[in-house]
Amino acid sequence: MWIGTFCLLPFLLLENTENLKTASIYNHLSVLYLGVFPGSIGYLTWTYVLSKMNVQSATVFLYIIPIITIIIGAIWIKEIPITSTIIGGIITICGVLIFNLKK
């Protein structure tokens, strides 16, 4: 993450200085939130999960993230999922179930 941040820093300074000056405090806080919390919380929870279970079992739960994202999008921003999204979610759930039932 830090290498990616370092590589993108010149583009921020060269092209977006005017945007940084005119952006509201809400915009700055939103970017700060998106930069800090999803990454740090994601890595912390992933490290915790790996300390409690094996990698094969933990990796299966990563496939549930898109389904949770669809549900949050539908509730929070009233985004209605299209048919292909629902079909993809069903396929994902079936894959997770097949893997867990296989044991």
List, for residues 47-86, the tens digit of each pLDDT value. Answer: 999 999 988 888 878 877 888 888 888 898 888 889 998 8
| pLDDT value of residue 103 | 62
Cβ atoms 58, 49 nearer than 8 A: yes
| pLDDT value of residue 51 | 93
| pLDDT value of residue 48 | 93
- Decide which of 69 and 2 is more confident: 69
Contacts of 99 (CB under 8 A, 6+ apart): 60
**Structure confidence by residue, pLDDT tens digits, 12-21:** 777 677 777 8
Cβ atoms 95, 63 nearer than 8 A: yes
d(CA 90, CA 64): 11
Question: Taking the model in full, what pTM does it have?
Answer: 0.51
d(CA 103, CA 101): 5
